[in-house]
Copies of this chain bind each other. A is one copy, B any other.
Amino acid sequence: MQTTTSQDALKRLSYIEGHLGGVRRMIEEDTYCVDVLKQTYAIRKAIEKLEGVLLEGHLHTCVVEGVKDGRDEQVISELVDLYELANK
């Protein structure tokens, strides 16, 4: 993984961890479920963004290199598997 990608990913992870800690406090303090759910939706969006960052990095590096090295079958079938996993 390129350093810029992993640093961006780690920053996003810290944000998500902090946000989850906030949800934990809300549940412990018996906050109204609707307000808790709004926060978990925001966390889910943040994880999707993190996945976007990781995927973009992967496409620009490993996928391009893999195809140029003649390993297309492998890198493409990994992408297809990821797509199916993400939509299961």
Q: Which residues of A contact B (CB under 8 A)?
A: 1, 6, 9-10, 13, 16-17, 20, 23-24, 27-28, 30, 32-34, 36-38, 40-41, 43-44, 47-48, 50-52, 54-60, 62-64, 67-68, 72, 76, 78-80, 82-87
**A-B CB contact pairs (8 Å), 6 listed:** A32-B62, A33-B58, A40-B50, A52-B87, A59-B76, A60-B76
CB-based contact B13/A24 at 8 Å: yes
Q: Is the interface of A mostly helix, strand, loop or mixed?
A: helix
**Interchain CB contact under 8 A, A85 and B38:** yes
What B residues does A9 contact at CB under 8 A? 27
A31 to B50 CA separation, bound complex (whole angstroms)? 15
